[in-house]
Structure formats: C-alpha cells, structure tokens
Amino acid sequence: MLDVIHSAAVTERAIAMPLEGTWQNADWETDGMSRLTIQRDGDQLILQPVSARHAAYDGSALPALAYTIDVNPAIVVAFTATYRTARSQTILVGRLAPGMLTIDSYTHFTDDSQRADHVRHDVFVRR
C-alpha cells in the first residue's frame, strides 16, 4: 500500500482527457513501473501504477497534482505525485509529449540500506 503525501483538486474546467487511459512502459523488460492507468475521479486526478516485479506498485489509487500549460484552466499535460513505502519516498513527475508520456521517478531511500537516492526516466505509450 502506498502512503500519499499530497493531493489537490483538478479544477472543473481543466480537461484531463489527453492523459486519461492506460499507458504501457515502452521498455517491456523494465524492473520499475510497467503500466500506469490515469483517470479523473470527480475533481481528482488518480494514478494506478502497476509492476509485475515490485509490490510497491500494487495498483493502489494514488492522487496526483495536475498541471496545465496556462494558468487559465485548460488541458492537463503534466502531473506530480508523491508516495512513501516502508523503505523509500518517491516523487513521480509525468509530462505528456507527442505520442507518449514521460515519467521521471525520484526515489529517496529512508531505510538503513545505504542505497544511493536515484532518478529514473521512463517512456510510456498508449496501451
């Protein structure tokens, strides 16, 4: 289960449609997030990350902050979401690009493992 750090409402006039749907990691052999479903639930943008290899990505609903290109409500083109697991805290930064969704994951380890904090970049395509 993921612990949510923050969430915020998507304004009524912001359109999340370009991001909504199921996205598949272009790297079929990834050891990270393999699939991401994005949906709007009322005024919330909800992420459902999935990985066949890591329990941290268990399909839990993860509220996200939605971003538009302009300060006037428009089409949502990016998001951030932050969550904690028993061993780490991760910030996801997603941005829509032509034909794909890029996601950068910034992970800070909070356990005593001595692992270095790291960033990974993944490209997702519509499924």
Instruction: Give the pLDDT of residue 42.
Output: 79
Fold of 3-126: Lipocalin (2.40.128)
- Interatomic CA distance for residues 110 and 44, integer angstroms: 28
The answer on pLDDT for 9 being more than 70 is no
Instruction: Give the pLDDT of residue 74.
Output: 76
CB 22 within 8 A of CB 36: yes
Average pLDDT, the chain: 85
Residue 37 to residues 20, 46, 63, 115, Cα–Cα distance (Å): 7, 8, 12, 29
* pTM score, whole prediction: 0.83
The answer on pLDDT for 43 being more than 60 is yes
Q: What is the pLDDT of residues 54-82, one digit of tens each?
A: 666 666 889 999 888 877 767 889 999 99
Q: What is the pLDDT of residues 14-33, one digit of tens each?
A: 666 789 999 999 999 998 89
CB atoms near residue 47 (< 10 Å) = 23
Instruction: Give the pLDDT of residue 126.
Output: 94
- Locate 7 and state its tokens: 């969430």
Q: Is 16 helix (H, G, I), strand (E, B) or coil?
A: coil
With cut-offs at 50, 70 and 90, classify the pLDDT of residue 1: very low
| Domain assignments of the chain as residue spans, ordered by start | 3-126
Does residue 40 or residue 17 have the better pLDDT? 40
Instruction: Give the pLDDT of residue 56.
Output: 60
